[in-house]
Amino acid sequence: MCGIIGIVSNKSVSASIIGALKKLEYRGYDSAGISTISNGQINEQKCTGRVDNLEKILFQNPSNGDLGIGHVRWATHGMPNQINAHPHSSEVVSVVHNGIIENSDKLRKEFEKKGYSFKSQTDTEVITVMLTDFLKKENLINCIHKTLEKLEGSFALGVIFKDFNNLVVGARRGSPLAVGYGHNENFIGSDSYALKSMTNKISYLDDGDFCILYKEKVEFYNSDKQKINKEIFELSNEDNIADKGDYKDFMSKEINEQSATTKKCINEYLDKTRNEINIYNLPIDPKKINKIRLIACGTAYHSCLMSKYWIEEFTSIDVEADIASEFRYRKVKLNPNDLYIFVSQSGETADTYAALEKCKKNKVKTCGIVNVVESSIARSADFVLPIHAGPEIGVASTKAFIGQMIVLYLLTLKIAKERNDVSVEEYTKLVLDLKKIPNLIEETLNKQKNIQVIARDFINAKGTMYLGRGYSYPIAMEGALKLKELSYIHAEGYAAGEMKHGPLALIEDGMPVVVLAPKDRFFEKTISNMQEVIARGGKVLMITDDTSETTNENIRFKFQIPKTNSTINSFLLTIPLQFLAYHVALLKNCDIDKPRNLAKSVTVE
Ligand code: M6R
């Protein structure tokens, strides 16, 4: 949520700031802005809407200066308008902020009493005012330190000062901030992805740290104002590949990549010569795990729900899946014999990270399943399992979901084997089946055209339901989330057996309903639930691997997935649901990669 960039260089920085903001746009896109120091003055320019608008403004009215900060906003306090867009500047200081200042109302009143006035409705402007006030009596380090000390909540900050025209300040508490090292220039950015075109050498601020960037060096300080050193990481070249190629948008690219990304992920974990899953050194001996708790948000939470079914199926371990924003505040009894697994594409989701920190404080064993291996969650967890999906840019998570499920499935099988919950023969068979997933996904991807046809049924729908039982239920929930997030049509994912307990009342003539009915042990029961929907006028899209004609009667459309072992057909059921959401959104002219009101990396509560 919100993207920050800051650059100090020996050449003009505005073009590089715009370039980086375009990369950061997935974090927020309701307004954008830039500040540089030129001719001894702060030059602030901002606008509503996308970075393209800001670029046009700068084209008319160039922003010179060899240091500056930029921002893309996802509004929290105050409407997304030009005044509330960042940076927020006074005569002497300009600030960009990601996060939420929880005591901003109190601070605002305190500084209003001192005679300061505020231009915007944002929580950020109190930071500008406080820095301006402290600068009158403190040196730079004390000014930053005293300001940070007064802030409650979460933040990543980028700051420039009129009277320190050779430096940019960065600070972090709760929201991520990376530092990049260049030749005669240095950078701060909300993530390494934004900095990758400028450098592959990165450090990360930890909570409470701040840094001062000069063009030839970077100084780091901890929350006690002590100078500290930071480890420098070298980013792999592989992760630089993040353009759309020939695709219309990132989402279609990312959906179509899923056969390749699952193959890569499986290859990373499977032994080349034996049918063995190379996951060793878990923070608890698998034989001694008392319970597994899976914690995540949104799509990542759905992968946890999916994994709950697998863990129950293959192991003797008790398991629970939790929504991170609930888990972090509940009085959960944390147990040293339990394994706590945190799943997150970005590795920066504020609620998931806070839930992880709660576990760390209580010294229980944690494991992170992430896509971004340099992320806060990856750096904080005791043990990390990357999903190897490559950068996911579309706000709607697709290939990361499949990747999370692959890793969770691999982990489940490995734990099951280590505990002797499955026999060696069964384990080998399951691993062999798993190897077939990339090709089966490819086969399913090739059927995209069939879904294009049915998408028309959904565009004028008031609402829709996605139904599934057993392994298909978490996938129904994920399918519904994809549709609402992309096409703004109300959609509910429901356990098919629950329909008669209330939601059946919603079904009316012509309502599109998606039924996931693979030929598993629930098949007959799901078909009965589907008939109940059809009897009330529901127009059913059935997704199944069943080839018999008998179920066809009264079904509006049937999408056939390839036949496979029933514990892994969830991977295949997911694909048509992604396509469906995509094509409905396309027909409705929605912004596919940047759905309204959303952002890719949710770094606020
Ligand atoms: O980066 P994370 O996986 O932690 O993100 C969690 C959710 O915000 C994310 O999955 C969200 O629900 C997606 N936009 C859904 O497509």
* Each residue's pLDDT tens digit, 244-295: 889 999 999 999 999 999 999 999 999 878 889 999 989 999 999 999 999 9
Write the burial class of residue 547 (CB in 10 Å: 0-12 exposed, 13-18 middle, 19+ buried).
exposed
CA 132 / ligand 1 centre spacing (Å): 37
Q: Which atom of ligand 1 approaches the CA of 598 most closely? A: 14
The per-residue pLDDT for 106 is 97
Tell whether 596 is covered by a domain.
Answer: no
CA 268 / ligand 1 centre spacing (Å): 23
Q: Worst-scoring range by mean pLDDT, 22-26, 95-99, 350-354?
A: 22-26
Gap between the Cα atoms of 199 and 105, Å rounded: 39
Determine if ligand 1 sits within 6 Å of the CB of residue 349: yes
Q: Are residues 217 and 119 in the same domain?
A: yes
Q: Which atom of ligand 1 approaches the CA of 345 most closely? A: 3
pLDDT, tens digit (0-9, with 9 covering 90-100), for 460-474: 999 999 999 999 999
pLDDT at 312 over 80: yes
pLDDT, tens digit (0-9, with 9 covering 90-100), for 12-60: 999 999 999 998 988 888 999 999 999 999 999 999 999 999 999 999 9
Give the residue numbers spanning the domain of 564.
446-591
Query: What's the CA angle centered on 309, arms 305 and 311, to 5 degrees?
Result: 105
The per-residue pLDDT for 152 is 95
CA 297 / ligand 1 centre spacing (Å): 6
Total domains present in the chain: 3
Determine if ligand 1 sits within 6 Å of the CB of residue 487: no
Write the burial class of residue 593 (CB in 10 Å: 0-12 exposed, 13-18 middle, 19+ buried).
buried
Ligand 1 pocket, mutate which of 323, 349, 393 (most atoms under 8 A from CB): 349
Determine if ligand 1 sits within 6 Å of the CB of residue 295: no
- Other Cβ atoms less than 10 A from the Cβ of 278: the count is 12
Determine if ligand 1 sits within 6 Å of the CB of residue 298: yes
Q: Are residues 345 and 212 in the same domain?
A: no
Determine if ligand 1 sits within 6 Å of the CB of residue 396: yes
Determine if ligand 1 sits within 6 Å of the CB of residue 325: no
The residues carrying an active-site annotation are 2, 600
Tell whether 605 is covered by a domain.
Answer: no
The per-residue pLDDT for 603 is 80
Q: Are residues 291 and 154 in the same domain?
A: no
pLDDT at 406 over 70: yes
Tell whether 205 is covered by a domain.
Answer: yes
The per-residue pLDDT for 601 is 81
pLDDT, tens digit (0-9, with 9 covering 90-100), for 57-70: 999 998 899 999 99
CA 389 / ligand 1 centre spacing (Å): 14
What share of the chain has pLDDT > 70, as a percent? 98
The per-residue pLDDT for 164 is 96
Determine if ligand 1 sits within 6 Å of the CB of residue 567: no
Gap between the Cα atoms of 119 and 391, Å rounded: 38
Tell whether 601 is covered by a domain.
Answer: no
Determine if ligand 1 sits within 6 Å of the CB of residue 381: no
Determine if ligand 1 sits within 6 Å of the CB of residue 431: no
The per-residue pLDDT for 330 is 95
Tell whether 213 is covered by a domain.
Answer: yes
The per-residue pLDDT for 411 is 98
Determine if ligand 1 sits within 6 Å of the CB of residue 581: no
Which of 402, 435, 468 corresponds to the end of one domain? 435
What share of the chain has pLDDT > 90, as a percent? 85
Task: Give the 3-state secondary structure of residue 287.
Answer: helix
pLDDT, tens digit (0-9, with 9 covering 90-100), for 561-583: 999 988 899 999 999 999 999 99
Determine if ligand 1 sits within 6 Å of the CB of residue 404: no
Gap between the Cα atoms of 204 and 185, Å rounded: 17
CATH number of the structural domain spanning residue 558: 3.40.50.10490
Residue 65 region, left (φ>0) first, then alpha (ψ -120 to 50), else beta? left
Write phi, then psi, for 361 (nearest 5 degrees). Answer: -60, -35
Determine if ligand 1 sits within 6 Å of the CB of residue 389: no
Q: For all residues of the chain together, what is the average pLDDT? A: 94
**Which CA distances in Å does 503 have to 146, 313, 497, 515?**
54, 28, 10, 14
Tell whether 604 is covered by a domain.
Answer: no
CA 388 / ligand 1 centre spacing (Å): 16
Determine if ligand 1 sits within 6 Å of the CB of residue 345: yes
Gap between the Cα atoms of 450 and 465, Å rounded: 20
Which of 180, 210, 237 corresponds to the end of one domain? 237
Task: Please compute the mean of the pLDDT values over residues 85-94 and round it to a whole number.
Answer: 97
Q: Are residues 422 and 315 in the same domain?
A: yes
The per-residue pLDDT for 192 is 84
Task: Please compute the mean of the pLDDT values over residues 224-234 and round it to a whole number.
Answer: 94
Write the burial class of residue 107 (CB in 10 Å: 0-12 exposed, 13-18 middle, 19+ buried).
buried
CA 305 / ligand 1 centre spacing (Å): 14
Determine if ligand 1 sits within 6 Å of the CB of residue 299: yes
Q: Which atom of ligand 1 approaches the CA of 401 most closely? A: 10
CATH number of the structural domain spanning residue 134: 3.60.20.10
Tell whether 514 is covered by a domain.
Answer: yes
The per-residue pLDDT for 230 is 95
CA 224 / ligand 1 centre spacing (Å): 34
Nearest CA to ligand 1 atom 14: 396
Q: Which atom of ligand 1 approaches the CA of 349 most closely? A: 4
Q: Are residues 188 and 304 in the same domain?
A: no
Gap between the Cα atoms of 119 and 125, Å rounded: 8
Q: Are residues 266 and 229 in the same domain?
A: no
Nearest CA to ligand 1 atom 11: 298
Q: What dihedral do alpha carbons 26, 27, 30, 34 form, nearest 10°?
A: -100
Q: Are residues 309 and 228 in the same domain?
A: no
Determine if ligand 1 sits within 6 Å of the CB of residue 352: yes
401 in Cβ contact with 478 (< 8 Å): yes
pLDDT at 237 over 70: no
Which of 204, 237, 270 corresponds to the end of one domain? 237
Q: Which atom of ligand 1 approaches the CA of 299 most closely? A: 10
Ligand 1 pocket, mutate which of 397, 484, 485, 597 (most atoms under 8 A from CB): 397
Q: Are residues 160 and 87 in the same domain?
A: yes
551 in Cβ contact with 448 (< 8 Å): no
Q: Which atom of ligand 1 approaches the CA of 296 most closely? A: 4
CA 378 / ligand 1 centre spacing (Å): 16
Ligand 1 pocket, mutate which of 371, 485, 602, 603 (most atoms under 8 A from CB): 602
pLDDT at 556 over 60: yes
Q: Are residues 347 and 473 in the same domain?
A: no
Q: Which atom of ligand 1 approaches the CA of 346 most closely? A: 1
pLDDT, tens digit (0-9, with 9 covering 90-100), for 141-154: 999 999 999 999 98
The per-residue pLDDT for 584 is 97
pLDDT at 240 over 60: no
Q: Are residues 90 and 232 in the same domain?
A: yes
- Residue scoring higher pLDDT (552 or 14): 14
The per-residue pLDDT for 378 is 92
Ligand 1 pocket, mutate which of 29, 193, 345 (most atoms under 8 A from CB): 345
CA 302 / ligand 1 centre spacing (Å): 10
Q: Worst-scoring range by mean pLDDT, 1-15, 338-352, 553-567?
A: 553-567
Q: Are residues 164 and 105 in the same domain?
A: yes
pLDDT at 156 over 80: yes
Tell whether 597 is covered by a domain.
Answer: no
The per-residue pLDDT for 272 is 79
Q: Are residues 471 and 419 in the same domain?
A: no
Nearest CA to ligand 1 atom 8: 298
33 in Cβ contact with 18 (< 8 Å): no
The per-residue pLDDT for 241 is 56
Determine if ligand 1 sits within 6 Å of the CB of residue 499: no
Q: Which residues are CB-contacts of 366 (< 8 A; sequence separation ≥ 6)?
A: 283, 339, 340, 341, 342, 356, 359, 360, 380, 381, 382, 383
